[in-house]
Structure 1
């Protein structure tokens, strides 16, 4: 499967962050977008509220100029972050009064968030969802349609 550079880089960064415990939904440098953007928090100035899908003036200017951040537009970045937060169990927009998970850095919670983010990233690039393992269980006449041992060779 052919993927874009931005997708490969984003997945690699998220994978590393997840396994090195550098993924934190409440930190602008360690959230999904923060990791995609090399642990920078400048993206937070694209919107007035963490988890919002509404670009502020700065975000709209960048969007209208066609500015990309590691391959992603400002609106795409806001969507990525909103998807991540929502899948992790946050009520959006992120606010101390809104509901959130009890342990936001628990691996199961982060995995749920990453699954949804990677699904969205694949949709953006119009590629098959790499998180979809259902093909592994397809069968015909009691025989698997796909041989997993071929994929690992």
Structure 2
């Protein structure tokens, strides 16, 4: 399967973060987007609230000028983060009064978040969902179909 450079790079960073325990939904440098952007938090200035998909003035300027960050537009990055947080069980936008998981860095919670992000990244680049395991179980006339 052919993928894009930005997809491959993002997946490698997220995989590494997951397995090295440097993935944390509540830290702007260690969340999904923070990891994709090399542990920087400058992306948080694209929106007024963590978890929001609404670009603020700074985000709109970057979006309208066609600026990308490691291959992703500001709007794409905000969507990645919102998808990650929702799949991890957060009520958006992040706020200390909103619902959130009891153990946000639990591997099962993080895996749900990453699965949703990978699905979205596949959609963005028009590639088949690499998280879709149903093809492994498809059979045709008692033979495996590949």
Q: Normalising by the residue count of structure 2, what TM-score does the alignment of the two structures yield?
A: 0.99
Task: Give the aligned partner of residue 67 of structure 1.
Answer: 67
Distance (Å, rounded) in 1 between the aligned partners of 2:47 and 2:141: 53
> Match of 1:82?
82
State the partner residue of 1:22.
22
Computed over aligned residues only, the root mean square deviation of the Cα atoms, in angstroms, reads 0.5
The structure with the largest alpha-carbon Rg is 1
Gaps of 5+ in 2: none
Deviation per CA, 1:78-110: give whole Å up to 9, x if none: 000000000000000011000000000000000
**What is the match of residue 142 of structure 2?**
142
Scaled by the length of structure 1, what TM-score is found?
A: 0.94
Aligned residues: 146
> What do residues 7-64 of structure 1 show as CA deviations (whole Å, max 9, x unaligned)?
0000000000000000000000000000000000000000000000100000000001
**Large movers: runs of 4+ above 2 Å:** none
Structure 1: runs of 5 or more not aligned: 147-153
Q: CA deviation at 1:131?
A: 0.5
Partner Cα distance (1:104, 1:143) in 2: 42
Secondary structure, counterpart of 1:101 in structure 2: coil
1:28-39 correspondence to structure 2 within 5 Å:
28-39=28-39
